[in-house]
């Protein structure tokens, strides 16, 4: 996993959301999930998105990925197609784990032999070297999540000269044990540093957010709005613990204010 | 088991139960079933049947009518002589009896103009309405007689299709019953190469006959006689007032199929058929033999017991007409 | 305005399937309305235009390709005389009754086939084999066994529709994500409850596809069966009308018959299956391009 | 031993569908083998036994219910003379060619119908309507337009099978969990790639169900066509054999014809669709009771 | 949510697994997920199951629930049907959230009116009062998980005189933010104390396991075996932190020994 790709820090933003609103449904059943989201991610930046369950994090990622259209506001991207890891594993049930990882390479027209090597490397990275020929239904929940991670990385790493790269991840480690999670966090950081891709990372684990991110963005719920941001790059352990405390407190506030 | 019990069918034990409550009568919407059409249109059957309810049932093809006979859902029916023999043979001489004739003659081999003698048919395909039907047997027998059996192809098509195919030039020859031979001649410019009449003594051969389910015949002979009286009346009407009879036929055709025939076709068709209650029993052994010669059947159908002309002769006698002859085929 | 007219039918059908918890329709967008009314009409107009052009070019003789107007005249004729209502009534009511009986027979059969391995191994292939038998092949046998009665007609229809619906249900059940029946089991569903509350609703999209095919089979088989005979007991249906056109070799009558049969098929699709399908898929977030 | 014989065929078929990444068959348990061979045979034996018993009881006359042996005699007769191979060859090769053409036409059509809303609105109902037209209705028209040629026969077969396959594919695609096409999109699949790598394989279980129905339609339509259109150019197929049985009112010949048609249907099911289906479902962990 | 049900502490075990082995697949593709598992859960006990991703935790729950059959060994249960919350939400896609929660009640023959009240109460409990009439595809990942939790609770609470109750939960809070998770943990403890049901609880969060459980069981992977157990009932905060440290260390050992 030593692939290095040209980084594109030339443009000044990887993503910019301006006044984005998203409403699902019509009439009386309409739900406004997001309202007036402004967010800018610099090229190569690692941004963590936090918020209560159901506040609209997934919706933000979907909008950035171009899978949904905002009801209002604009979204600018410097890349034509970000790599996405969904909240569900969403593996193709008819493909083995290895073939699932190969899929983005196949779609990009990579040759079979190279595809296979790269998929094997990525499966190795997520500690699933032996499970390449298993089908999704034969994998445990955490294994499926790791295959999805490998697939997202395959998609992220396979982009040549395509603007600033961008990786969107929706709770990628939620189904993993602490040790595997630790390990994969480091691997993710390594990949991020090596490729200089911008990352938008959704998580529920505040400590994870502080550990990984350069910036933490907190969303409120119903409707989702940006409540506060913290710069958390290069904090040492005690500082990190402090910020974590602070974010947790703010999160609690936001949730209870909503519940009230 | 079946073998020990022997086949004692209900028909053997049936007894006279007086007039039936209902008579289910089968027929085709076709000129060769003219007696049936006239009888129905003019109410001759209903009048004679009196209290017996007449349920006319229109069939589209012989085999289905045979199935209805064998399944017991039809009491009497006009039908071609080929299917009639089949119905008798397939039920081992049980299910049906032939009680009267309907129509005789009315089939021709028509061809395109370039075919002027039988030998011209070599290498060509001749169409008949259906495998084993009256015209199919006649054609194949004729080919054998002419020594053309293996040099002429025979195929079956629905009559309507034959007409279109002839118009398009896909087919050059067909052995067809009325009114189709007339339609080919008048609508599609075909020529008559052979009238089947020429092959039979007196030019008479059975085209349509009247079958009755054996059990029905035994249980309700009076009803069958009433039906036959109606048939005689219809035939008589056709003989005396043929213009109106043709009108009646066309009216029925229109009611049944949504469209009548044009007058010229009906006129021509009527000249080649004759409506006669004589079943022409004497011709049947030859028909049975021809079927074997033609290769349609593997063995000759035994026709003993097929005819039951008792009712017909009672009615004919009452009308002061000569009795019909069963040619010895009325007993087993 | 076929579309607006369908809404109540759909709702009603959905109510009837309340057991399966199909949802109320969601409000419809205007573009959808316009599209679903205008698009088929556009397609129809285009089709007739091409036909008229071909006919006008007189490439084929009239008896091979009648003018659209000639076909329309035939339809108009039977409509004027009111006969068309008789045909439609005779055929449609029979097809619907046949379809409902098929449904009642095929649903338990499909459940058995899908869930009981031995039944599937034993008669699964038979059911598929039956499906591949043409309806006309059954006509003589049905008449022989049941006479020229409605029973014969329904036999032919059932032999066509039951295997198709049962196979559709089996396919639907086969595709259910295995977790759902497992959930049913741990929530305490017995065999019957599992079928009623889990399998049938979960298989509903596939089952509906099977029902559509089943309806097509019923209707086709009925048309074949109506060729049997006409009598006061059997009435005069569309199949007979078509057959008469054929035996008269009257192309415009044949096409009018095809048109009427086709319109009934399209009508049932638009009035019944389309809204049902739409409701079922929407409720599951499977809207696709609907 | 139909079962063992099927394995290579299945593997082959799966290879042909490599594009769709169907998996190699998993090792089969002995019980499965026994069951899938013995159960259908058991069902068959039971059926013949009941038939024989009914016949022996002589409730119906012989001409309504022929003895099993009489039907078998008919089959034996055509087998002896070798004619049966001609019937089978004529019909089966035609059905397969017809089916393959239908497949090639219906697959892109189904994709269009499923994914392009305007196409669906415009011709979706037409396709369903076509499906409900009986094949017999097309025969005279096809013969009129194309003569008694293979073209006429294939026309009838296509008109039967294409709508059915296309509708099956549409139903399959409608049921795809929406997340999968979304995944395809973010992984960079264009329209064609999405169809090839995501939609078709994801819809494969439903598509296969549609193919089964499509095959049934091909075969039925072919039989209907053969029943009606006959000529020396067209050869002598099973439909023609059946038709001759009907014309001669020979019940045992009719039943032998039905039996042969049925056996081909069952054979295709057992040799082709069953193993394919099994492989596809197994690969997805949807084994159910297979 | 004050339903109290008769507790059945009369029998001496809620579940007992003896020498359980589970192998998936045949021949060369066979995978032994579990080998020689011995585990006893007392009535009313709260047992947490820990282990690396893919070690066999879900498989254990499936075996206990009777959804799979062990390849060897025996499983005894004192209840005929445990309540289960799966790792995936597995909601019925054709039912609204409320109807999903009602489903176990409906299957148990509870009257409509009561069903609706109870479902509303449970949705309230998981903080989804407003979402009862939404369908699964309209819910966020965390919301789906909470509906599944409410459904499992409905199933667990609705058992009258059916032996000792048993609740199996597979990572029930993995998709939830810290605050909601805290809240639901307390609610779960409350329900557990009120009903005296035995709970087998799978989690990846060691602190969660220590906080909730009376006993923590650690599984090794490939094949799954019971490595060690800790009694963690009624620990105070520093003790808890210590045990958490210890378990984490052991987990790390187990995973790296496997990786070696
Ligand atoms: N149906 C199956 N077929 C084949 N192998 C299976 C099957 N189900 C599970 N396995 C294997 O069994 C092992 C244990 O799986 P299980 O789902 O129990 O893990 P888990 O402990 O729940 O993991 P996670 O924390 O990731 O959910 C895994 O290696 C998995 O690949
Ligand atoms: N297709 C949809 N239709 C209707 N409502 C939707 C739809 N998708 C999302 N929502 C609503 O939008 C809101 C935000 O959902 P989203 O999935 O973005 O939440 P989230 O922040 O990702 O939550 P979680 O952490 O639980 O995954 C929720 O209230 C949800 O009910
Ligand atoms: Mg989310
Ligand atoms: Mg698990």
pLDDT band at B14 (very low <50, low <70, confident <90, very high): low
- Rounded to 5 degrees, what are φ and ψ at C39? -60, -50
Average pLDDT, integer, range B149-174: 83
Residue C138 is predicted with a pLDDT of 84
Residue C239 belongs to some domain of the structure: yes
Q: Ligand 2: which residue has its CA nearest to atom 26?
A: E142
In a domain, D113, yes or no: yes
Contact E65, E82 (CB under 8 A): yes
Q: Please give the DSSP secondary-structure letter assigned to residue E224.
A: B
In a domain, A97, yes or no: yes
Q: Is the pLDDT of residue B253 over 90?
A: no
Buried b (16+ CB within 10 A) or exposed e, D254-283: bbbbbbbbbebbbebbbbbbbbbbbbbbbb
Closest CA to B102 of B164, B170, B154, B26: B26
A77 lies in some domain: no
Mean pLDDT of E115-138: 89
Interface of D with B in 12-51 (CB under 8 A): none
How does residue E161 score in pLDDT terms, banded at 50, 70 and 90? low
E86 touches chain C (CB under 8 A): yes
Residue A200: pLDDT band (50, 70, 90) is very high
Region B135-163: mean pLDDT is 84
- Residue C16 confidence (pLDDT): 39
Residue C52 lies in a domain: no
Domain count, chain E: 1
Contacts of E139 in chain D (CB under 8 A): none
More confident residue, A104 or C22: A104
Residue E187 clears pLDDT 60, i.e. is over it: yes
Q: How far is the CA of E170 from the centre of ligand 4 (A)?
A: 7
- Residue C101 contacts residue C164 (beta carbons within 8 Å): no
Query: Mean of the pLDDT values across residues C206-222?
Result: 86
- What's the pLDDT score for residue A101? 92
Domain count, chain D: 1
For residues A135-161, average pLDDT: 86
Give the pLDDT score at B328.
Answer: 80
Report whether the peptide linkage leading into residue D179 is cis, meaning its omega lies within 30 degrees of zero: no
Assess D285–E contact: CB distance below 8 Å, yes or no.
Answer: no
Is E136 inside any structural domain?
A: yes
Q: Give the range of the structural domain holding residue E96, as residue numbers without chain letter.
A: 91-158
Q: Which of residues 1-40 of E touch A (CB under 8 A)?
A: 24-25, 31
Q: How far is ligand 1, taken at its centre, from the CA of residue E32, in Å?
A: 10
Cα–Cα–Cα angle for E236, E238, E240, nearest 5°? 65
pLDDT average, residue stretch B206-215: 90
| Average pLDDT of the residues of chain B | 84
Q: What are phi and psi of C147, to 5 degrees?
A: 75, 180
Structural domain includes residue A40: no
pLDDT confidence bin for E2, thresholds 50/70/90: very low
Mean pLDDT across B77-93: 86
Q: What is the enclosing helix (H) or strand (E) of A62?
A: helix A57-65
C9 in a structural domain: no
Q: Is the pLDDT of residue C19 over 60?
A: no
H or E segment to which residue E104 belongs: helix E97-107
Residue C56 lies in a domain: no
Q: How does pLDDT run across C22-75, given as a tens digit for each residue?
A: 343 344 445 556 666 777 788 888 888 888 888 888 777 777 778 888 888 888
Torsion of CA C84, C88, C91, C96, to 10 degrees: 180
Give the closest of D182, D183, D283 to A94, CB-based.
D283
Conformation bin of residue E233: beta by default, left when phi > 0, alpha when psi is -120 to 50: beta
Rounded to the nearest whole angstrom, what is the distance from the C-alpha of residue A32 to the centroid of ligand 2?
10
For residue D287, the model assigns a pLDDT of 65
Burial of residue A71 (number of CB atoms within 10 Å: 0-12, 13-18, 19+): middle
The string of DSSP letters for E22-86 reads EEESSGGG-EEEEEEEEEEE-TT-EEEEEE-TTSSHHHHHHHHTTSS--SEEEEEESSSS-EEE-
- Residues of chain D in contact with residue B164, where contact means CB-CB under 8 angstroms, are 143-144
Interface predicted TM-score (ipTM) of this complex, two decimals: 0.83
Residue A101 falls inside a structural domain: yes
Residue C105 pLDDT exceeds 90: yes
pLDDT for C269 beyond 60: yes
User: Relative to the CA of A57, which ligand 2 atom is closest?
Assistant: 21
Pocket test residue of E30, E48, E57 for ligand 1, highest count of atoms within 8 A of CB = E57
When the pLDDT of each residue in chain A is averaged and rounded to a whole number, the result is 84
Q: What is the pLDDT along chain D (290 residues), one digit of tens a residue?
A: 334 333 343 444 433 344 444 343 344 445 556 666 777 788 888 888 888 888 887 777 777 778 888 888 888 888 888 888 888 888 888 888 999 999 999 999 999 988 888 888 888 888 888 888 888 788 878 877 787 788 888 988 898 889 989 988 888 888 888 888 888 888 888 888 888 888 888 888 888 888 888 888 888 888 888 877 666 667 788 888 888 888 887 778 888 888 888 888 888 888 888 888 888 888 887 765 44
Please state the atom number of ligand 1 nearest to the C-alpha of residue E60. Answer: 18
Confidence of residue E97 (pLDDT cuts 50, 70, 90): very high
Residue D101 lies in a domain: yes
Residue with CA at minimum distance from ligand 1 atom 1: A138
Q: Phi, psi (5° rounding) for residue A110?
A: -70, 145
Q: Would strands E46-51 and E72-77 be described as parallel, antiparallel, or unpaired? A: unpaired
HEC secondary structure over chain C? CHHHHHHHHHHHHHHHCHHHCCCCCCCCCHHHHHHHHHHHHHHHHHHHHHHHHHHHHCCCCCCCCCCHHHHHHHHHHHHHCCHHHHHHHHHHHHHHHHHHHHHHHHHHHHHHHHHCHHHHHHHHHHHHHHHCCCHHHHHHHHHHHHCCCHHHHHHHHHHHHHHHHHHHHHHHHHCCCCHHHHHHHHCCCCHHHHHHHHHHHHHHHHHHHHHHHHHHHHHHHHHHHCCCEECCCCCCCHHHHHHHHHHCCCHHHHHHHHHHHHHHHHHHHHHHHHHHHHHHHHHCCCCCCC
Q: Residue A50 belongs to what H/E stretch?
A: strand A46-51
- Span E79-83, average pLDDT: 82
User: Residue C18: what pLDDT?
Assistant: 40
Q: Is residue A108 part of a domain?
A: yes
pLDDT at res. A258: 58
- The pLDDT, as a whole number, for residue D35 is 67
- Nearest of A90, D170, E137 to residue C288 by alpha carbon: D170
> Of D270, D265, D206, D39, which Cα lies nearest the Cα of C170?
D206
Q: Is residue A103 part of a domain?
A: yes
Q: What is the pLDDT of residue C210?
A: 84
C194 vs D20: which has the higher pLDDT = C194
Mapped onto helix, strand or coil, the DSSP state of residue A138 is helix
Pocket-forming residues, ligand 1, beta carbon under 6 Å: A 137-143, 175; E 24-25, 31, 33, 51, 53-59, 87
Q: Is residue E29 assigned to a domain?
A: no
The helix (H) or strand (E) run that includes residue A198 is strand A198-202
Please give the pLDDT value at position C48: 84
Query: Which chains form contacts with chain D, at 3 or more CB pairs under 8 Å?
Result: A, B, C, E
Assigned domain for C181 exists:
yes
Question: CB D212 to CB C268 under 8 A?
Answer: no
User: For residue D232, which of B118, B159, B127 has the smallest C-alpha distance?
Assistant: B127
**Segment 10-49 of chain D within 8 Å of chain C by CB:** 35-36, 39-40, 42-43
Residue D108 neighbours by CB distance under 10 Å: 12
| Residue C112: CATH number of its domain | 1.10.3720.10
Least confident of B28-42, B80-94, D31-45: D31-45
Nearest to C205 by CA among C167, C172, C161: C172
Query: Which chains does B contact via 3+ CB–CB distances below 8 A?
Result: C, D
SS3 (DSSP) at B326: coil
Q: What gap in Å lies between CA A253 and CA E179, rounded to an integer? A: 10
Report the pocket of ligand 2 as residue ranges, CB < 6 Å.
Answer: A 24-25, 31, 33, 51, 53-59, 87; E 137-143, 175
Shortest-distance Cα residue to atom 2 of ligand 2: E138
The stretch B190-211 carries a mean pLDDT of 87
- Lowest-confidence range among C250-264, E153-167, E182-196? E153-167
- Given a cut of 80, whether residue B302 has pLDDT beyond it is yes
- Please check whether residue D81 touches B, CB under 8 A: no
Ligand 3 ion: residues within 5 Å (CB): A 58, 87; E 140-141
Residue C240 belongs to a domain: yes
CB D75 within 8 A of CB D130: no
Q: Which chain D residue has its CA at the smallest distance from B72's CA?
A: D64
- With CA atoms as reference, the chain D residue closest to E28 would be D27
Ligand 1 atom 3: residue of nearest CA: A138
Over residues C78-105, the mean pLDDT reads 88
Query: pLDDT at residue C15 above 50?
Result: no
Looking at residues C81-108, what average pLDDT do you find? 88
């Amino acid at each position: 996993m030593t692939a290095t790709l040209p980084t594109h820090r030339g443009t000044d933003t990887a993503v910019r959301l301006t006044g984005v609103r998203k409403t699902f449904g019509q009439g009386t059943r309409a739900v406004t999930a997001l309202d007036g989201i402004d967010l800018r991610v610099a090229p190569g930046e690692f941004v963590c998105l936090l918020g209560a369950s159901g506040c609209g994090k997934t919706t933000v990622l979907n909008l950035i990925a171009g899978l949904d259209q905002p009801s209002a506001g604009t979204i600018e991207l410097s890349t034509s197609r970000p790599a996405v890891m969904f909240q569900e594993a969403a593996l193709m049930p008819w493909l083995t784990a290895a073939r699932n990882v190969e899929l983005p390479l196949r779609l990009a027209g990579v040759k079979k032999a190279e595809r296979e090597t790269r998929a094997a490397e990525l499966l190795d990275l997520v500690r699933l070297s032996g499970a390449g020929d298993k089908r999704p239904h034969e994998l445990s929940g955490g294994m499926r999540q790791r295959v999805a991670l490998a697939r997202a990385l395959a998609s992220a790493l396979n982009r040549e000269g395509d603007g600033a790269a961008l990786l969107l991840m929706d709770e990628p480690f939620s189904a993993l044990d602490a040790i595997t999670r630790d390990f994969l966090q480091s691997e993710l950081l390594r990949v991020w540093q090596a490729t200089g891709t911008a990352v938008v990372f959704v998580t529920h684990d505040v400590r994870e957010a502080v550990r990984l991110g350069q910036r933490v963005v907190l969303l409120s719920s119903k409707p989702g709005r940006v409540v506060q941001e913290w710069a958390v790059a290069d904090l040492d352990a005690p500082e990190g613990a402090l910020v974590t405390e602070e974010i947790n407190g703010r999160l609690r506030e936001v949730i209870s204010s909503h519940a009230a | 088991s079946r073998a020990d019990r022997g086949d004692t069918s209900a028909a053997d034990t049936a007894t006279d139960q007086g007039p039936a409550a209902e008579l289910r009568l089968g027929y085709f919407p076709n000129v060769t079933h003219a007696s049936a059409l006239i009888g129905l249109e003019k109410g001759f059957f209903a009048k004679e049947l009196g209290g017996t309810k007449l349920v006319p049932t229109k069939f589209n093809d012989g085999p289905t009518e045979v199935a209805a006979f064998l399944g017991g859902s039809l009491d009497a029916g006009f039908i071609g002589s080929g299917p009639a023999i089949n119905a008798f043979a397939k039920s081992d001489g049980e299910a049906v009896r032939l009680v009267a004739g309907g129509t005789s003659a009315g089939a021709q081999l028509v061809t395109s103009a370039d075919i002027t003698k039988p030998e011209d048919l070599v290498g060509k395909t001749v169409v008949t309405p259906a495998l084993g039907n009256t015209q199919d047997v006649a054609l194949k027998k004729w080919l054998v007689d002419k020594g053309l059996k293996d040099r002429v192809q025979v195929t079956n098509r629905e009559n309507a299709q034959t007409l279109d195919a002839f118009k398009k030039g896909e087919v050059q020859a067909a052995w067809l019953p009325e009114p189709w031979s007339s339609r080919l001649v008048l609508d599609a410019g075909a020529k008559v190469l052979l009238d089947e009449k020429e092959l039979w003594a007196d030019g008479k051969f059975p085209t349509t006959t009247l079958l009755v389910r054996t059990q029905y015949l035994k249980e309700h002979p009076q009803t069958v006689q009433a039906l036959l009286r109606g048939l005689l009346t219809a035939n008589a009407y056709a003989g005396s007032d043929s213009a109106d009879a043709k009108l009646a036929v066309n009216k029925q055709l229109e009611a049944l199929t949504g469209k009548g025939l044009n007058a010229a076709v009906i006129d021509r068709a009527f000249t080649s058929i004759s409506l006669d209650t004589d079943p022409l029993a004497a011709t049947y052994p030859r028909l049975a033999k021809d079927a074997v010669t033609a290769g349609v059947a593997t063995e000759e159908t035994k026709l003993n017991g097929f005819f039951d002309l008792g009712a017909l002769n009672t009615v004919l006698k009452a009308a002061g007409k000569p009795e019909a002859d069963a040619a010895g085929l009325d007993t087993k | 305005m076929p579309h607006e007219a369908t809404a109540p039918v759909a709702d009603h059908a959905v109510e009837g399937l309340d057991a399966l918890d199909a949802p109320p329709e969601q409000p419809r967008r205007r573009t959808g309305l316009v599209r679903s009314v205008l698009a088929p009409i556009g397609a129809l107009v285009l089709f007739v235009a091409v036909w008229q052009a071909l006919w006008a070019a007189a490439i084929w003789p009239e008896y091979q390709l009648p003018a659209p107007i000639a076909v329309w005249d035939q339809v108009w004729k039977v409509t004027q005389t009111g006969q068309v209502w008789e045909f439609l009534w005779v055929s449609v009511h029979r097809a619907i009754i046949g379809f409902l009986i098929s449904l009642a027979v095929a649903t338990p059969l499909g459940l058995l086939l899908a869930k009981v391995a031995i039944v599937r191994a034993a008669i699964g292939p038979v059911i598929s084999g039956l499906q591949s038998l043409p309806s006309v092949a059954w006509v003589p046998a049905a008449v022989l066994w049941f006479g020229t009665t409605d029973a014969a007609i329904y036999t032919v229809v059932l032999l066509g529709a039951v295997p198709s619906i049962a196979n559709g249900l089996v396919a639907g059940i086969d595709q259910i994500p295995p977790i759902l029946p497992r959930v049913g089991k741990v929530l305490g569903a017995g065999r019957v409850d599992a079928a009623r509350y889990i399998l049938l609703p979960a298989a509903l999209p596939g089952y509906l596809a099977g029902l559509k095919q089943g309806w097509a089979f019923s209707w086709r088989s009925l048309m074949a069966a109506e060729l049997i005979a006409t009598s006061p007991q059997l009435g005069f249906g569309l199949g007979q009308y078509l057959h008469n056109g054929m035996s008269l070799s009257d192309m415009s009558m044949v096409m009018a018959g095809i048109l009427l049969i086709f319109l009934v098929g399209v009508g049932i699709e638009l009035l019944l299956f389309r809204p049902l399908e739409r409701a079922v898929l929407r409720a599951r977030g499977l809207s696709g391009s609907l």
